[in-house]
Amino acid sequence: MTISVGDAMPDITLYTMTGSGPESVTTGDLFGGKKVALFGLPGAFTPTCSAKHVPGFVANHDALTAKGIDSIVCVSVNDAFVMGAWGEDQQVGDKVMMVSDGSAELALATGLELDLSNRGFGMRCCRFSMVVNDGKVESLNLESDGGYEVTSAEHMLANL
């Protein structure tokens, strides 16, 4: 079952890349006491994700924080090394936190998984965006056609 507005985020350990290697971070640490713009993508370095989705959140960082967002988090079913390299490639700086859900635990626990095994990619995360306020889902957007419109930063900003 897919997570819904009003639901609490599950307690999952994820990973980020630091100067000394991968570091664990819990969903409690990411979302507790904060209003977070979270968006998930099928994979790092993929065309739509790299050309449109991540750049949109980077470009709209200031506008989102002006509307009360404390942090922006990108999650994908890639390891922390890949997410770190992708963040560098996308020049996210401190605007977007790149988070690894390498074993798809968050994707599966929230019902936001996307099985792309038939294309050689395995279990992934579907394209989504949500606002998580102190650990609870405040809004949720899911793409149904493989696009990125309703999960874009621009859509989120217009609906805050």
Q: How far apart are CA 98 and CA 84, in angstroms?
A: 7
User: Is 49 one of the annotated active-site residues of the chain?
Assistant: yes
- Of the residues 49, 74, 125, 126, which is catalytic? 49
Q: What is the DSSP string of the chain?
A: ----TTPBPP--EEEEEETTEEEEEEHHHHHTTSEEEEEEES-TT-HHIIIIIHHHHHHTHHHHHHTT--EEEEEESS-HHHHHHHHHHTT-TTTSEEEE-TT-HHHHHHT-EEEEGGGT-EEEE--EEEEEETTEEEEEEE-SSS--STTSHHHHHHT-
Residue numbers annotated as active site: 49
